[in-house]
Structure 1
């Protein structure tokens, strides 16, 4: 599939065919794409938790779903996905990398960073997984883990404190679902979000 087609086809899929497993080799391929994402200083401060067993996926939803979402259609559809990938950023990998001689920020001061590139780079790695899923004929959805669920998620899967889950991705074969009402807002055209030479021009 051409990249342009994968970009056009990409959308968040919220319902999956639970009867169709995803080949583990395909998941490995998608995670291989993730490692080609850009990263500041080639720090590569990302790690991915892959959940494919029924038990692990059930544990994920139990840990991360607020009680008021227990019976929603969103959760009903999302929990059918045979694969969950949780991308984690690693801030210290960046602070350590930029304290090396060729960078020279020996104080490891986080204030030197204009934005948290550890999160941004991990997000870009996640987007490569999402695009790769389209190329493989799969559906995928990136969504957030509620802050109130962070401790339960970490405890359920032994996630070290220095790693931050920036979200999670469900992956699987698409089943019929209802488009998000948010899509009624319409997609902003490039001309409405682009400023040439000066903001507002």
Structure 2
């Protein structure tokens, strides 16, 4: 598939065929492509929890379940995904890396960082996995672990304290899916979000 087509076809898929597992060679390809993502200082402060066994996937859903129910049935459809990849970031790896001699900082203060690049870079990696899934004609959806369930999730899977989930990808062959009602909002006009040279308001345009 051409890259332009991958980008055009990319969307969040919330329904999967539960009877078609993702072949191991595709899982390996998806994960390895994610590891090609850029990272500040080539820190690579990320890890990925790959869940294919039914018991592990059930544990993921039970440990991260949303408490407010399932409006629209999207969560029931997501549970049919045969593959879940949880993307986790490790801030300490970045703080240690930038305290090394080639980076110039003499301490590990988080205040040096204008934004949490450990989370951003891990998100880049997840996006590459998502796009790889699209390229392989799979469906995929990226979503967050509820804040009040992070510790329960980490305990359930023995995730070390220094790692935190940035989000999870469900991946599988498309099944019964419904387009998100949020798509009715449409894309914002390019001129509203892209600014050349200086920030121009609508009143100035």
The Cα RMSD (Å) is: 1.3
**Displacement of 1:71 after TM fit?**
8.4
**Displacement of 1:69 after TM fit?**
2.5
Indicate the residue corresponding to 1:87 in structure 2: 87
Corresponding pairs, count: 201
1:1-201 pair list within 5 angstroms: 1-69=1-69, 73-200=73-200
Mark the CA change 1:70 to 1:182 in structure 2 (over 3 Å): closer, same or farther. closer
Mark the CA change 1:102 to 1:57 in structure 2 (over 3 Å): closer, same or farther. same
Contact persistence 2:20–2:173 (CA under 8 A): yes
Structure 1 stretches lacking a partner, 5+ long: none
**Displacement of 1:68 after TM fit?**
3.3
- Residue aligned with 2:68, SS: helix
- Tell me how far apart the structure 2 counterparts of residues 173 and 157 of structure 1 sit (CA, whole Å): 26
Deviations 1:153-187 (A, max 9, x none): 01110011100100111000011311111101001
Structure 2 stretches lacking a partner, 5+ long: none
- Tell me how far apart the structure 2 counterparts of residues 161 and 85 of structure 1 sit (CA, whole Å): 19
Contact persistence 2:77–2:176 (CA under 8 A): no
Mark the CA change 1:63 to 1:71 in structure 2 (over 3 Å): closer, same or farther. farther
TM-score normalised by structure 1 residue count: 0.96
Deviations 1:115-139 (A, max 9, x none): 0000000001100001000001100
**Displacement of 1:70 after TM fit?**
6.1
- Tell me how far apart the structure 2 counterparts of residues 48 and 72 of structure 1 sit (CA, whole Å): 29
Is the deviation greater in 82-91 or in 97-106? 97-106
TM-score normalised by structure 2 residue count: 0.94
